[in-house]
Amino acid sequence: MAGQVQVVVFDVNETLSDMTPLRERFTAAGAAAHREPSAALPAGTRLFATLLMARLHGVESIAAAQPAVETLELVNGWATLMVDALAGHGGRIHQMTGDGLAAVFAEPLAAVHAALEMAEMSALFAADRAAAGKAPVALALGLATGEIVAGFAGTPRQAAYACIGAAVRQASELAALAASSGRTVLLDGATQAALAGTGPASEPVPDHPAS
């Protein structure tokens, strides 16, 4: 089934901002910082990595037409499958938005393998919904490779683990383009170059700092 997944190389040739909007997502360390206002935020790390942005499109229209509990069951069931696929390939989630999520990988190849598994699992998920007579949903993925800054951002009272950099914005734009163009996976040129062995070497993605 993975062989049916459409993978398209797409290079965004435009200048992107080096900042990305901060989405709040508490982790154990973030919650500890909230409990201890005087605690200093951990220092950030600069690294070369691959960002993966995933979006389950079709959820907004579904949510408007069904009870809230059914919508939560939908996104939670999908997220469970996606998190398992990401963890199996070394991806570290840094953002969850209900019908979307973002993860960072040390190796572009690992990110692509995760994307293919996510696409396969989402196709099975959508098939189960169709068999049950439920409204369709579809996955859109964007992958971009580049230098980012990773670490906790915010204040000592309220902090979230964040990845910041042009690659973050680029992966998000590719996921949006995949959704609007009916594709499953879009890769940027830097990710393609890294897969071909012509791009810079990736670096290990650090664990979220402990509190």
pLDDT at res. 92:
86
Q: What is the mean pLDDT of residues 77-104?
A: 89
Cβ count within 10 A of residue 117: 19
Evaluate whether 189 touches 11 at the Cβ level (below 8 Å): yes
- Residue given tokens 């964007």 in the structure block: 142
Q: DSSP 3-state assignment of 90? A: coil
pLDDT at res. 210:
38
pLDDT at res. 43:
59
Cβ count within 10 A of residue 131: 8
H/E stretch holding 96: strand 92-96
Q: What is the mean pLDDT of residues 13-19?
A: 27
**Gap between the Cα atoms of 165 and 94, Å rounded:** 13
Lowest mean pLDDT among 29-33, 57-61, 183-187: 29-33
Lowest mean pLDDT among 6-15, 96-105, 106-115, 181-190: 6-15
Over residues 182-202, the pLDDT tens digits come to 889 999 999 988 888 755 555
The pair of three-digit structure tokens given for residue 180, joined into one six-digit string = 């609007």
- pTM tops 0.85, yes or no: no
Residues near 50 by Cβ (< 8 Å), separated by ≥ 6? 104, 105, 106, 107, 108, 110, 111, 143, 144, 145, 167, 191, 194, 202
Q: Which of 116, 141, 148 has the alpha carbon at shortest distance from 49?
A: 148
Evaluate whether 62 touches 75 at the Cβ level (below 8 Å): no
Measured in whole angstroms, how far is the alpha carbon of residue 205 from the centre of its chain?
14
Cβ count within 10 A of residue 49: 26
Asked whether the CA dihedral 114, 118, 52, 204 is positive or negative, the reply is: negative
**CA-based radius of gyration for the chain:** 17
Asked whether the CA dihedral 24, 119, 117, 190 is positive or negative, the reply is: negative
